[in-house]
Amino acid sequence: MLNRASAIAAKIASQEEVLIVTHIDADGITSGAIAHISLERLGIENRLKFVKQLDDAEIEKIKDENVFVWFTDLGSGQLEFLDDIEFVITDHHVPQRSHPMQLNPHDFGYDGTVELSGSGATYLVSKFLRRSENLLDYVNGGNNLLPLAIVGAVGDLQDSRWGKLQGINRSIAKEGMMLGDLDIVRDLRFFGKQTRPVAKMLEYNSDPFIPGLTGNERGVLEFLSNLEVEPWMRWIDLGMEERKRIVSAIVNLAMEYKLPYTSILRIVGESYILLQEPEGTEKRDAMEFSTLLNATARYGEADVGLGVCLGDESAYRRARTLLQNHRRNLSNGIKFVDENGIEEMRYLRFFHAGSNIPDTIVGIVAGMCFHKGDRDKPIVAFAESDKGIKVSARATYRLVERGIHLAKALRRAAEAVGGAGGGHSVAAGATIPEGKEKEFLKILDEIIGRQLQKQ
């Protein structure tokens, strides 16, 4: 795999100009940032293009640029359409096929859902693009590239299955510890430990869903009162004994409600602390950093996310404002689902948000609403977009173990109705023509049923 990374790096280094094309989520932003910084180090002229989806229209625009392209966190699912482009790819989504200028974990027997992210693949190539062999070679006020790869992996939920990073991701994390860039801490794995009051951290947690706490403010306040814990302090400000009481009580609650063992495993696990970032900020914890980045590009301000990765303080302030808006939109999205409900089919459930939830976050809302209804079925969400109907689907690793592979299912169902799709086994997306939703759902339900029956 490193030989492939070295060959790709050599191809990139021979260019005078590079167009970086990347995705608009945290993994895409960090991938693009790693590529950009690497090229800046070499003095290679470059610019970034952020895209929601690499569809036919975007590919035609890229072809018109007539420039060498570095695809990061996308491209592997569109290889057959890239023949007229000189390119390299660092991606982790299920590829159409292998390619000598593609670094994708699936080509080497690794699972791109949990073992290496797009930013991780981009980081591996960047190691061969450094101007020096000094592993402590910092750029832009201490922005080393390795922490960005960890932020991207965590943002892509690659640590969620087992409560820690696995595979090549783990090797990268250990390298970060060796360099003094990263600390791996065993801790509660809920979002917001750096910035949220404990009460809100518990209330808004949905992975895993904790009966009596998730979405239940009154239940959370009563829970903390019984433990004699101040609800409006941040987790990082609590004493070790208070933290232990909370964790022990949450685990006991999960066991009382007979949550699956895999869900209990995810309550406590690894947190990834970026040691070069200030404590008590979103940038200190990889999970919160990734959410901050998601709040930029998904609202058309990807350059702000890039600026955050480069250490731009004005970009960071803007990103925090966008994060507040992002949280408000997520809350409104969940409220929409609560008011309109989730419809059930034999093997899946779905909701159609229309224009009520932005297509860029409907997948996040779907994931946050997974605990509503039958959790033994994947959830599918629709939203209007400027290119048709956006489809986002989410499952659990428990469902994947039972045979479900959403990327394969969505790709086949979308192509059957004139659209396109892809992604991962546990999370995938597609774009289909407007008016084709019912036909798409019927086909998808049949495909998922066959996947389960095969297992």
Task: Return the residue matching tokens 């996040």.
Answer: 364
Residue 387 has a pLDDT of 86
Higher pLDDT, 434 or 424: 434
**Nearest-angstrom CA–CA distance, 408 and 32:** 26
- Lowest pLDDT segment from 31-45, 217-231, 260-274, 338-352: 260-274
Pinpoint the alpha helices (H) of 227-310: 240-256, 261-265, 286-297, 302-309
As a whole number, the mean pLDDT across the chain is 91
Q: Which token pair is 69?
A: 């392209």
Q: Mean pLDDT over residues 265-290, rounded?
A: 92
pLDDT computed for residue 130 by the predictor: 67
pLDDT at 132: 47
The Cα–Cα gap between 212 and 191 comes to: 18
pLDDT tens-digit readout, 365-418: 998 888 788 889 999 999 999 889 999 999 988 899 899 999 999 999 999 999
**How far, in Å, CA of 429 to CA of 423, rounded?**
6
Distance in angstroms (rounded) separating the CA atoms of residues 354 and 339: 14
Euclidean distance between CA atoms 312 and 314, whole angstroms: 6
Give CA–CA dist 423/345, Å, rounded: 22
Cβ pair 70, 21 in contact under 8 A:
yes
Instruction: Express each pLDDT in 28-66 by its tens digit.
Output: 999 999 999 999 999 999 999 999 888 888 999 999 999
Q: What is the pLDDT of residues 306-332, one digit of tens each?
A: 999 999 999 999 999 998 898 889 889
Q: How confident is the model at residue 143 (pLDDT cuts 50, 70, 90)?
A: very low
Burial of 358 (0-12, 13-18, 19+ CB in 10 A): buried
pLDDT of residue 374: 87
Residues 321 and 395: their CA atoms lie apart, in Å, by 31
Report how far residue 330's alpha carbon sits from residue 320's, in angstroms, rounded to the nearest whole number. 15
pLDDT at 223: 94
Residue 420 predicted with pLDDT over 60: yes
Alpha-carbon distance of 394 to 266, in angstroms, equals 17
Q: How many CB atoms lie within 10 A of CB 131?
A: 12
Does residue 26 register a pLDDT over 70? yes
Query: Phi, psi at residue 336, to the nearest 5°?
Result: -60, -45
* C-alpha span between 298 and 319 (Å, rounded): 11
Q: Residue 140: pLDDT band by 50, 70, 90 thresholds?
A: very low
- For the residues 116-142, what does the mean pLDDT come to? 70
Residue-wise pLDDT for 76-104, tens only, equals 989 988 988 999 999 999 898 999 999 99
